[in-house]
Amino acid sequence: MYNIIQKKKIWLSISGVLVAISLILFFTWGLKPGIDFTGGSLLEVSYPNEVPTLDEVQGILAGVDVHSLVIQPAGDSGFILRFQEIEEDVHQQVMEKLNSLIPTTEQEMNPADLGLSIEGDAKITATVALGEVEELRFEAIGSSIGSELRNKTGWAIGIVLLAIIIYVAWAFRRVSKPVASWKYGVIAIIALLHDVILTVGVFVVLGKFLGVEVNTTFVAALLTVLGYSVNDTIVVFDRVRENLPKSDLDFEGTVNTSVNQTITRSINTALTTILALLAIVFFGGESIKYFALSLVCGIFFGTYSSIFIASPLLVWWEKLKK
Amino acid sequence: MSDNILKRIFQPSGRGKLWWIFVFIIILAIAGFFVDFGSQYNKAVDKYNLKLPHAKEINFRLGLDLQGGSQLIYEADVSAIPAEDRAISVEGARDVIEKRVNFFGVSEPIVQVNHTSDGDYRILVELAGIKDIDEAIKKIGETPLLEFKEQNSEIKQMTDEQRKEMTAYNDKALGLANQALAKVKANQDFNSLIKEYQGKDLGWVDKQSNPNVVSAVKDWKAGQVSSSLSNFGDGHSLYKLNNVREKTVDGQPAKEVKASHLLICFEGTTGCESGLSKSEAKDKITKLKQEATPENFAELVKVNSTEPGAKDKYGDLGWFVKGMMVEPFENVVFAQQKGSISDVVETDFGFHIIYKQDEQVIKEYQVGELFFDTKNETDILGPQSEWKNTQLSGKNLKRAVVQFNPNDNSPEIGLEFDEEGSKFFEEVTDRNVGKPVAIFLDGYPISVPNVNEKITGGKAVISGKFTLVEAKTLVKELNSGALPVPIKLISQQTIGASLGQQSVADSMQAGLFGLLLVALFMIIYYRLPGLLAVISLIIYGLIILAVFKLWPITMTLAGAAGFVLSVGIAVDANVLIFERLKEELRSGKTLSKAIDEGFTRAWTSIRDGNFTTIIVCLVLMYFSTSMIKGFAITLFLGVLVSMFTAIIITRNFLKILDERWLEKHKWLLGVYEKKAKQASDHQSEQGENNNL
């Protein structure tokens, strides 16, 4: 039996500090919003043979009238370009410029193939581009969609939180002593906020140092973490609910026993899910890599908080009453 | 209450019931297998010539991120339209866009209207696998154009002066041409004549490139020259055939082929209305292939082919060369023997069998030409059309409605014009009493009503032989032309096909690898129950993938992630149960009791935990974009099915094992005999450690 609850001051302080750091970073550095939120265009291209340098790409695009252009190398043969304009003709102009960077070659051609007719066997040389830029992905999002998404995100999170408090209060309605059932709900929410804030903190740091952007999928990941975190917390609370009537220990002791009884399960579950997700993080496609990573963070913090935050808080709240 | 139901379900009266459930689970798994792997199974059956029936092939519906394609979101500007007409005019615009989109030949295009909570109308267009998105955007963006046209009564006549000029020009050309003809006949050198009369060495030509020239020289010998003037409508020509040869492409003789074909299309192919699924179409054409002979081919085509016009043309394609047919079709028809009937060929249009009637090498002719241009009326006056525009256009149409003829109750279309339109309409009808007036939409005539009398008051009725459906469609079209809804592209997402495939392959591999790790962990850590859980998870996978196919759920990358997470949750349910089972065993309960206890006790945790996940999924489905929706739906279904597999399947497997045998081999459950008898916390913790 581990004395987890008894050392609650340690756990709560660690988490408190981490949450504080995350919040400070969030408000100072902030997340790096993707075009889903800000509006704008993202173009990912790949060059067939010789890949031009970043400077060459930058140089050739200087002539096109696009705002806040950011160019990053992507993979071995490509670039990701971001700019503000979302119009189709701007997109086409950019593609044309990018295509002009492809080296050309002088090639002997049969005049007839070019629709020319020349007497005799004269061959002519023509300039031919060696391949074409492949457009891997183009996203152009209007700013109205971005603001709509921000609104929806806010609403979605609000509704999820409310629904969870109500559900937990209902599920624990028969255990109102010594802690009222709605308090289980509130603590589940506190644990959940802890998980979400820390996950956001990780992505603030990733955004600052690796340029990782958050987009619609990040919102989906956060919402999933909400669900998972509550799930995890409920498993522990469920044990408390079951043990309370038959336990001859005090509240603190009962909660500690319950945490110990469920700790193997909590760790095993998190481990298996994280294993599956880590496989996606390391080997999965580019577009869901960070989605999987945000889930890994959320699930890790969710498991941690169900053991080291939610249960200690329950005991602390009970003591506060006295 | 839920406990009562659970007890009834989960405490069956005896082992007989267990076996019943077991059989049910196996049937479910087999059904799932055939839905998931129908095409692989069929391939195996074909390969080894097994006498087994074919399974119905169902494909996953892949999202744009997986198969490549474009998603476009348009905002319809309805500010100029009265509130009550907005929905219908946006619907009209949607229909127009859908029609335009259908020309791009992508499979299952999606065109939807979304009415956002802010009162905006959005039109969402998804084009899977489209190549030229730039062109598509241009086509879609055109506002529907409604025009009223009247007969072009005053066909322009040439003035005398123009006629004189034309005659003089043509006479001169004919004179020169005859002069040249005489020189040609007198065997003057053709090349010097080319220089003299600004003629042209055409080089090597064939039937494809210069049909007129070839028709004139095709029976000549090399060196032969024209003995008379040729005229194909635009002038006089004289030719010299310098040489004839067989055409080659890349060193191979180029051939042309005459063939006819029989087509059976299936749902999802371009322009198909057969209503057949892919496997049904395959069965049908395979049967036809066995029946077909060169003699009965035309008749088979007439009766069976789903190609429009097959009844009249017997699927005859005439002569064609490479590059005129779609690639798979072409590959087969050029390779097969003359007079043979091909195996089944699949193209974007469906399944074909091809009868190759004839084949010959294409001839090329080296020709020199003297050309003397002449003029005709069209050259001078420009092209003249049967119809000409009136001042009246779509912007004058206030609205169109479906109404019914008071006499015979047949559907009609009522038109109502605005003030200016009423005036124009009066003038137009006044001019055209007894004559037709045509209504054009996007350049095509949709209706050509006859004007019976001059119409005042700005209202008109188009009566004709409409069905109610036709009338309604026409009204929608008219209203969309009459109430032009300007649309603006506000979002575009294009995923190149290669990126899509790459990330599918990567993510699939990653997902499988992850699942393998989970399976290993489960077996090593939980022994026998772990193994059973892995089997039940495989059944879970079979069931859930079958549900995805049958529903059908559009699979996206996010959806795949939702699936992986749902597997995690399914594992969690098993872990909860096994941990509980171990605990109950350690406290000295009998195996059967421990299993029951383990399941019922773990159930509340599983239920409450999964319920919160379900709540989140519901919120996500309601609030979010299609990508997140995909994630939420797969996770939602996954959670529901995973509860079923954990509670019913794993439990059934555990209970069906021989209890006495298991009691003797408790290590298989991860609990050691000696320690199991002692129930203190301390000891059980050691038991725990031993297992690790």
Q: What is the pLDDT of residues B66-84, one digit of tens each?
A: 777 888 888 887 776 677 7
| Pair A263, A283 in one domain | yes
Q: Quick one: pLDDT at residue B679?
A: 41
Q: What is the mean pLDDT of residues B291-299?
A: 85
How many inter-chain contacts (A to B, CB under 8 Å) are there?
229
Interface residue of A167, A272, A306 to substitute, partner B, most B CBs within 10 Å:
A272
pLDDT category of residue B674 using cuts at 50, 70 and 90: very low
Q: Quick one: pLDDT at residue A108?
A: 67
**Token pair of A127, please?**
């300039």
The verdict on a CB contact (< 8 Å) between B494 and A135 is: yes
Q: What is the mean pLDDT of residues B234-241?
A: 86
Q: Quick one: pLDDT at residue A17?
A: 95
Residues of A in contact with B515 (CB under 8 A): 276
Question: Which chain A residue's Cα is nearest to B612?
Answer: A227
**Token pair of A261, please?**
């009884």
* Closest approach of A322 to chain B, Cα-based (Å): 30
- Looking up residue A263, the CATH number of its domain turns out to be 1.20.1640.10
Q: ipTM > 0.85? A: no
**A122 part of a folded domain:** no
**A114 part of a folded domain:** no
The verdict on a CB contact (< 8 Å) between B568 and A292 is: no
What average pLDDT does chain A have? 82
Residue given tokens 């969870």 in the structure block: A164
From its phi and psi, is residue A39 left (phi > 0), alpha (psi between -120 and 50) or beta? left
| Pair A15, A52 in one domain | no
Q: Quick one: pLDDT at residue B483?
A: 42
Q: How far out from the chain centre does Cα B614 lie?
A: 33
Q: Tell me which residue in A138, A262, A283 faces B494 most closely, judged by beta carbons.
A: A138
Q: Tell me which residue in B510, B617, B620 faces A280 most closely, judged by beta carbons.
A: B510
Residue given tokens 């060196």 in the structure block: B223
Q: What is the mean pLDDT of residues A51-78?
A: 81
The verdict on a CB contact (< 8 Å) between B616 and A142 is: no
Q: Quick one: pLDDT at residue B13?
A: 55
Interface residue of A117, A234, A278 to substitute, partner B, most B CBs within 10 Å:
A234
B300 touches chain A (CB under 8 A): no
**A69 part of a folded domain:** yes
| Pair A242, A315 in one domain | yes
Q: Quick one: pLDDT at residue B691?
A: 37
| Pair A185, A279 in one domain | yes
- Looking up residue A58, the CATH number of its domain turns out to be 3.30.70.3400
Statement: residue B484 has pLDDT above 70 = no
The total number of residues written for chain B in this structure? 692
Q: Quick one: pLDDT at residue A202?
A: 95
Question: Which chain B residue's Cα is nearest to A95?
Answer: B134
The verdict on a CB contact (< 8 Å) between B628 and A145 is: no
What span, in angstroms and rounded, lies between the C-alpha atoms of A242 and A236? 10
Q: Tell me which residue in B203, B558, B608 faces A220 most closely, judged by beta carbons.
A: B558
What span, in angstroms and rounded, lies between the C-alpha atoms of B538 and B549? 17
The verdict on a CB contact (< 8 Å) between B608 and A171 is: yes
pLDDT over 70 for what percent of chain A?
91
The verdict on a CB contact (< 8 Å) between B615 and A167 is: yes
The total number of residues written for chain A in this structure? 322
Higher per-residue confidence, B309 vs B550: B550
Q: Quick one: pLDDT at residue B681?
A: 42
Statement: residue B21 has pLDDT above 80 = yes
| Pair A153, A263 in one domain | yes
Residues of A in contact with B613 (CB under 8 A): 227-228, 231
What span, in angstroms and rounded, lies between the C-alpha atoms of B122 and B115? 6
| Pair A317, A292 in one domain | yes
Domain end position, chosen among A86, A120, A139: A139
Q: Tell me which residue in A141, A156, A276 faces B568 most closely, judged by beta carbons.
A: A276
The verdict on a CB contact (< 8 Å) between A88 and B681 is: no
Domain end position, chosen among A117, A139, A161: A139
* Closest approach of B307 to chain A, Cα-based (Å): 35
* Closest approach of A150 to chain B, Cα-based (Å): 11
Domains and CATH numbers, chain B: 63-143+486-495 (3.30.70.2040), 160-251+365-373 (no CATH), 259-361 (3.10.50.40), 520-691 (no CATH)
Q: What is the mean pLDDT of residues B447-464?
A: 76
Q: What is the mean pLDDT of residues A17-35?
A: 91
E strand segments, B483-522: 487-495
Domain end position, chosen among A139, A159, A183: A139
* Closest approach of A298 to chain B, Cα-based (Å): 12
pLDDT tens digits, B405-426: 888 777 888 888 888 888 888 8
Q: Quick one: pLDDT at residue A223?
A: 77
Statement: residue B678 has pLDDT above 50 = no
Most confident of A214-223, B233-242, B440-449, B480-489: B233-242
* Number of domains comprising chain A: 2
The verdict on a CB contact (< 8 Å) between B203 and A117 is: yes
pTM, entire model: 0.60
**A119 part of a folded domain:** no
Is residue A247 within 8 A of residue A257, CB to CB? The reply is: yes
The verdict on a CB contact (< 8 Å) between B612 and A230 is: yes
Q: What is the mean pLDDT of residues A196-219?
A: 88
**A121 part of a folded domain:** no
The verdict on a CB contact (< 8 Å) between B619 and A159 is: yes
Exposed/middle/buried for residue B182 (C-beta within 10 Å: 0-12, 13-18, 19+): exposed
Higher per-residue confidence, A204 vs B608: A204
pLDDT over 90 for what percent of chain A?
16
Statement: residue B515 has pLDDT above 70 = yes
pLDDT tens digits, B157-201: 777 888 888 888 888 888 888 888 888 888 888 888 888 888 888
Is residue B527 within 8 A of residue B670, CB to CB? The reply is: yes
DSSP code of B294?
A: T
**A314 part of a folded domain:** yes
B132 touches chain A (CB under 8 A): no
What span, in angstroms and rounded, lies between the C-alpha atoms of B491 and B72? 6
Statement: residue B685 has pLDDT above 50 = no
Is residue A276 within 8 A of residue B575, CB to CB? The reply is: no
In order, the DSSP letters of B563-623 are HHHHHHHHHHHHHHHHHHHHHHHHTT--HHHHHHHHHHHHHHHHHHHHHHHHHHHHHHHHH
Statement: residue B9 has pLDDT above 70 = no
Question: Which chain B residue's Cα is nearest to A138?
Answer: B494
Higher per-residue confidence, A47 vs B394: A47
Task: With CA atoms as reference, report the closest residue to B414 among B453, B483, B480, B464.
Answer: B464
Statement: residue B222 has pLDDT above 90 = no
B507 touches chain A (CB under 8 A): yes
**Token pair of A57, please?**
């790409």
Q: How far out from the chain centre does Cα B364 lie?
A: 40
| Pair A251, A309 in one domain | yes
Question: Which chain A residue's Cα is nearest to B205?
Answer: A112
pLDDT tens digits, B114-144: 777 677 888 888 887 777 777 777 777 665 5
pLDDT tens digits, A114-132: 555 555 555 666 666 777 8
Three-state DSSP state, A197 = helix
* Closest approach of B152 to chain A, Cα-based (Å): 39
Q: Quick one: pLDDT at residue B499?
A: 65
Statement: residue A312 has pLDDT above 60 = yes
| Pair A174, A275 in one domain | yes
Q: Tell me which residue in B200, B525, B612 faces A231 most closely, judged by beta carbons.
A: B612
Higher per-residue confidence, A172 vs A30: A30
**Token pair of B83, please?**
């509130």
Q: Quick one: pLDDT at residue B480?
A: 57
Task: With CA atoms as reference, report the closest residue to B65 among B376, B468, B495, B429.
Answer: B495
B468 touches chain A (CB under 8 A): no
**A123 part of a folded domain:** no
What average pLDDT does chain B have? 78
Q: What is the mean pLDDT of residues B440-460?
A: 75
| Pair A13, A68 in one domain | no
pLDDT category of residue B683 using cuts at 50, 70 and 90: very low
Whole-Å CA distances, B229 to B174, B187, B240, B366: 9, 15, 12, 19
What residues make up the domain containing A303? 5-36+142-321
Q: Quick one: pLDDT at residue A303?
A: 92
Is residue B457 within 8 A of residue B121, CB to CB? The reply is: no
Exposed/middle/buried for residue B91 (C-beta within 10 Å: 0-12, 13-18, 19+): middle
Is residue B437 within 8 A of residue B150, CB to CB? The reply is: yes
Quote the crossing angle between the two packed helices B468-482 and B83-102, to the nearest 10°.
Answer: 100
B6 touches chain A (CB under 8 A): no
Q: Quick one: pLDDT at residue A199?
A: 94
| Pair A95, A237 in one domain | no
| Pair A160, A182 in one domain | yes
| Pair A81, A153 in one domain | no
**A297 part of a folded domain:** yes
The verdict on a CB contact (< 8 Å) between A231 and B118 is: no
Statement: residue A141 has pLDDT above 50 = yes
pLDDT tens digits, A76-91: 788 888 888 778 788 8
